Amino acid sequence: MNVTFLRWGAGSLALLVSAAGVTTVLAQDPSSSQSSPAAAAPATEKKADPSIAQRKENLQDRIANGVKSGQLTAGETANLEKKEAAINKETSADRAANGGKLTSAEKAQVNKQQNQVSKQIYTDKHNANTAHYGNNKVGQRRENQQDRIAQGIKSGQLTPSETAKLEKQQQGINEQVAKDRKANGGTLTASEKKQVNKEQNQASRNIYRKKHNAATQGNTKPKQ
């Protein structure tokens, strides 16, 4: 029988016993089959920044939540969505001019603009301006319209441009109601209520049409 000592790697020792053509490993340094702690630890991957589309969706969700909660007035929402529509238009133009892609400089510009909108959303949602509807039919109708608009933003059925137009219409109605109340001791006359209801009917039809046309935000959210 032949006994042979072999050294494998750094500090690895194996004892081979050879008999009748059979070789058996009797002992081996355990450290030879394990990696060092540093090598075993997985490399930490830097999380990628969200894409432009993901950022766009996040901003729209925040606006929708603000509309739903009343933290954003119709005027504030119209202004925010107007800015979002402008960014989208610029992004589409840049992609069309560059084979469907954005250059690094264009991506940086879009990110800067989205940062500005993000800050404006926060400011508008935390200022003193809120949507006050009141416990009356006119107020309830206004709140219902805002809820429908918020749902359209959240689902992607309403584009920023469409939302801006709808909220501009709501802002006009709200300003008219406030003016009429001020001129009439805080109340509305029967004819004023009738006029407001007529205008809200028109706004309601606009909301329905814009939520059911071919234009969407282009995200992956299903229509609701």
pLDDT of residue 73 exceeding 90, the answer is yes
Q: What's the CA dihedral at 166, 167, 172, 174 to 10 degrees? A: 120
Q: Report the DSSP beta bridge partners of residue 18.
A: 2, 23
pLDDT reported for residue 20: 46
Q: How far apart are CA 123 and CA 109, in angstroms?
A: 21
pLDDT tens digits along 122-141 = 999 999 999 988 889 999 99
Helix, strand and coil content of the chain, in percent to the nearest 5, comes to 60, 10, 30
> How many domains does the chain contain in total?
1
Question: Is 32 within the bounds of a domain?
Answer: no
pLDDT reported for residue 92: 93
Segment 181-193 shows an average pLDDT of 95
pLDDT reported for residue 2: 53
pLDDT reported for residue 19: 45
Q: Which two tokens stand for residue 48?
A: 């990628």
Task: Place 1 in a pLDDT band, splitting at 50, 70 and 90.
Answer: low
Residue 202: give the domain boundaries. 52-211
Question: Tell me, what DSSP letter sits at residue 133?
Answer: -
pLDDT reported for residue 12: 44
Category of 30 on φ-ψ map: left (φ > 0), alpha (ψ -120 to 50) or beta:
alpha
pLDDT of residue 100 exceeding 60, the answer is yes
Question: Is 149 within the bounds of a domain?
Answer: yes
Task: Place 50 in a pLDDT band, splitting at 50, 70 and 90.
Answer: low
pLDDT averaged over every residue in the chain: 83
Q: Is the dihedral of CA 105, 110, 116, 118 positive or negative?
A: negative
**Terminal C-alpha separation, the chain:** 81
More confident residue, 193 or 8: 193
Question: Is 176 within the bounds of a domain?
Answer: yes
CA nearest neighbour of 148 among 73, 68, 92: 68
Segment 145-155 shows an average pLDDT of 97
